């Protein structure tokens, strides 16, 4: 499962790392949530291209945008799901991030949020698929995407049984290459190698979508009395 993530590094650093076309001014985001519009990288005939897409895949054949966004796609059965099958074969993308969040069940108490990132806080690419959907009334085209998930590695297992597919740096180009064989693609969909990620508890402020600031990613132990912000909490799952 991946229900929230972050992309906080400067736009130029993101552009250089992913080597995509253009210089979009993407603001730092500490608490990206489903249905929001965020950058993805897809392949074109010339070079990778960054586009803005809605997190929550809308199948091309859907009559309307559903109320339960398809934010994740299970890697194990992606070819068996009509909502995801065509996108897996034809419209794969990279979802740039520098961290994601999972919630650990803590007995009868509230879930504990964790930030998972690389030890050096650098960028990584989550495997995604995207779809094109045309709104019947306005004829407006919507780009939307889902993040692929797989079983948790040893680091994540005590926190959650699923994790996003984080592509090895050497596999980024292969994932979005046009015409790639399904068998070759599936070999890329595996848990992150041990030692490539770290995890630490953070404040429950992350539970509130409106909280989108640098304090979100500070370790809980460094914050004075971490408490949930007032207001209605967005449903994650």
Residues serving a catalytic function are 2, 102
Find, among 121, 119, 120, the residue nearest to 6 by Cα: 121
How many distinct helices (H) and strands (E) make up the chain? 4, 13
Phi/psi of residue 201, each to 5°? -70, 145
Find, among 8, 49, 39, the residue nearest to 176 by Cα: 49
Rounded to 5 degrees, what angle do the CA atoms 7, 127, 212 make?
Answer: 20
206: alpha, beta or left? (left if phi > 0; alpha if psi -120 to 50): alpha
DSSP letter (8 states) at residue 209 = T
């Amino acid at each position: 499962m991946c229900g929230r993530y972050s992309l906080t590094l400067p736009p130029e650093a993101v552009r250089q790392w992913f080597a995509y076309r253009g210089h979009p001014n993407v603001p730092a985001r500490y608490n990206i949530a489903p249905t929001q519009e965020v950058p993805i990288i897809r392949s074109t005939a010339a070079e990778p291209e960054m586009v803005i897409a809605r997190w929550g895949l809308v199948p091309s054949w859907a009559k309307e945008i559903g109320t339960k966004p398809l934010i994740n796609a299970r890697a194990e059965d992606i070819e068996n799901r009509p909502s995801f099958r065509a996108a897996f074969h034809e419209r794969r993308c990279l979802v740039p991030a520098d961290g994601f969040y999972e919630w650990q069940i803590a007995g009868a108490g509230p879930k504990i949020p964790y930030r998972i990132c690389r030890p050096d806080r650098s960028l990584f690419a989550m495997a995604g698929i995207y779809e094109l959907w045309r709104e019947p009334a306005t004829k407006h085209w919507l780009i939307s995407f889902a993040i692929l998930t797989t079983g948790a590695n040893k680091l994540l297992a005590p926190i959650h049984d699923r994790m996003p597919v984080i592509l090895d740096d050497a596999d980024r180009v292969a994932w979005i290459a046009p015409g790639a064989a399904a068998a070759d693609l599936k070999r890329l969909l595996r848990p992150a190698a041990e030692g490539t990620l770290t995890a630490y508890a953070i404040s429950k402020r992350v539970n509130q979508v409106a909280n989108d600031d640098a304090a979100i990613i500070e370790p809980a132990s460094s914050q004075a009395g971490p408490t949930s912000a007032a207001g209605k909490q967005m449903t994650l799952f």
